[in-house]
């Protein structure tokens, strides 16, 4: 790995609030606090704070720790994320994964895995490849996990893919002496269209009559009460902390136009009808014309885009395809945005992909009359 594209904030520049955030140890021994991810995100203090609360909630959820680490390691290998692999191999060992099992995570699907492990690994692979789950994998997961754990599995995959995008693209290195991610990263062989919400929902939205004060107080952050929020809220704590993180991104440094361009492109790539409906409905207020929205499907090569907007769409594509950002695209991004805004951009794309995982895999449809996802394969013409 080359040097960091966004240098970690030097300790001499930390204020007391940053010192507390950077010093938090989420997972106990082996220590993962004060690492380069926290030091880099400290350049955007509020992003570190709200993402940190969300991340800790996901890390300490109800999914068995061994299962969680199996999922995280598979995400790390598929995305070639040296940072995640380095810090989660020691956690995986602590939570009961053997050295032989850890080595098997980085490779083709192996018949030695138990059925419940196969279902988790297949879920990671399918979400990476197509932003959804097949009926076979969903049925296998459902045999073992209740609705809260099913929501949690999807969120774990999305959260750690988000982190992989930030650390890969920013060239955030793990500490010396930690395990090295195996070569021959997975990478998806194909990008099949996702589930666009044509079937029945796999988990029903929580009826309004069952909402209590804590759930009402937690969101929804967008104020629209969509079935995504009403389903995700079945896992109260994960939804609560995600909604605060999501709200920060909605109110953040990117302009509404930039934010919706990223959301629309990620929706088109992941074939997520719900995500497209949300960003398509908000696009006119952000200054996007119908012709511009249509050209989001063409991608960064459409001649109408400015250099900065073409780079935004290219970044969305590259993060989707490789969980990284090319040198050429990065150079344009940093020419138009400061470091905190670039970090927010990376987090926003990761968050959009997380929402697509939930919406597609759970079969959550947009409301009647919402903007309709255009037909297409979701496959980009090429990656820069």
Q: What are the extents of the domains in the chain?
A: 65-170
Residue 22's H or E segment, with its range, is helix 16-23
Sign of the dihedral through C-alpha 219, 225, 230, 231 = negative
Provide the pLDDT for residue 183: 83
Q: What is the pLDDT of residues 58-105, one digit of tens each?
A: 999 999 999 999 999 999 999 999 999 999 999 999 999 999 999 999
Under DSSP, is residue 119 helix (H, G, I), strand (E, B) or coil?
helix
65-170 is a CATH 1.20.1290.10 domain: yes
Q: Return all residues near 71 (Cβ < 8 A) that are at least 6 apart.
A: 63, 120, 123, 124, 153, 156, 157, 160
What is the four-CA torsion angle of 100, 158, 108, 1, rounded to 10 degrees?
A: -80
Provide the pLDDT for residue 384: 41
Provide the pLDDT for residue 165: 98
Provide the pLDDT for residue 200: 85
Provide the pLDDT for residue 20: 87
Provide the pLDDT for residue 377: 65
Provide the pLDDT for residue 361: 97
First to last CA, the chain: 20
- Residue segments in the chain with a per-residue pLDDT below the cut of 70: 1, 25-33, 185-198, 213-225, 377, 381-384
Q: What is the pLDDT of residues 20-54, one digit of tens each?
A: 888 876 666 555 667 899 999 999 999 999 999 99
Provide the pLDDT for residue 379: 73
Provide the pLDDT for residue 304: 96
DSSP 134-200: -HHHHHHHHHH--HHHHHHHHHHHHHHHHHHHHHHHHTPPPPTTSPPPPSS----S-------S-S-
E strands, the chain, are none
Provide the pLDDT for residue 375: 86
Provide the pLDDT for residue 22: 85
Give the integer Cα–Cα distance in Å for 90 and 76: 14
Structure tokens belonging to residue 49: 């704070």
């Amino acid at each position: 790995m080359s040097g960091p594209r966004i240098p970690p904030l030097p300790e001499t520049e930390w204020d007391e609030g940053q010192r507390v955030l950077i010093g938090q140890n989420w997972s106990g021994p082996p220590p993962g606090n004060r690492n380069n991810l926290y030091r880099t995100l400290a350049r955007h203090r509020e992003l570190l704070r709200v993402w940190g609360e969300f991340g800790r909630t996901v890390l300490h959820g109800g999914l068995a720790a061994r299962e969680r680490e199996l999922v995280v390691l598979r995400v790390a290998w598929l995305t070639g994320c040296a940072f995640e692999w380095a810090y989660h191999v020691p956690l995986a060992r602590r939570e009961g994964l053997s050295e032989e099992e850890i080595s098997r995570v980085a490779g083709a699907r192996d018949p030695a895995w138990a059925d419940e492990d196969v279902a988790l690994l297949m879920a990671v692979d399918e979400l990476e490849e197509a932003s959804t789950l097949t009926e076979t994998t969903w049925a296998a997961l459902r045999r073992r996990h209740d609705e809260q754990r099913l929501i949690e599995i999807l969120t774990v995959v999305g959260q750690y893919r988000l982190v992989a995008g930030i650390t890969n693209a920013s060239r955030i290195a793990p500490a010396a002496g930690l395990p090295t991610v195996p070569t021959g990263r997975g990478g998806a062989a194909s990008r099949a269209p996702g589930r666009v919400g044509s079937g029945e929902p796999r988990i029903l939205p929580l009826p309004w009559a069952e909402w209590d004060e804590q759930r009402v107080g937690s969101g929804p952050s967008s104020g629209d009460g969509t079935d995504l929020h009403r389903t995700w809220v079945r896992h109260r704590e994960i939804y609560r902390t995600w909604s605060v993180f999501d709200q920060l991104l909605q109110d953040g440094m990117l302009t509404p136009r930039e934010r919706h361009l990223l959301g629309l492109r990620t929706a088109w790539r992941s074939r997520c009808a719900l995500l497209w409906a949300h960003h398509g409905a908000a696009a006119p207020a952000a200054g996007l014309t119908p012709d511009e929205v249509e050209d989001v499907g063409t991608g960064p090569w459409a001649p109408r885009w400015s250099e900065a907007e073409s780079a935004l769409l290219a970044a969305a594509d590259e993060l989707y395809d490789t969980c990284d950002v090319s040198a050429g695209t990065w150079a344009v991004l940093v020419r138009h945005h400061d470091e905190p805004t670039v970090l927010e951009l990376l987090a926003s794309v990761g968050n959009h992909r997380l929402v697509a995982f939930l919406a597609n895999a759970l079969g959550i449809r947009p409301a009647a009359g919402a903007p309709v996802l255009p037909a297409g394969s979701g496959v980009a013409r090429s990656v820069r």
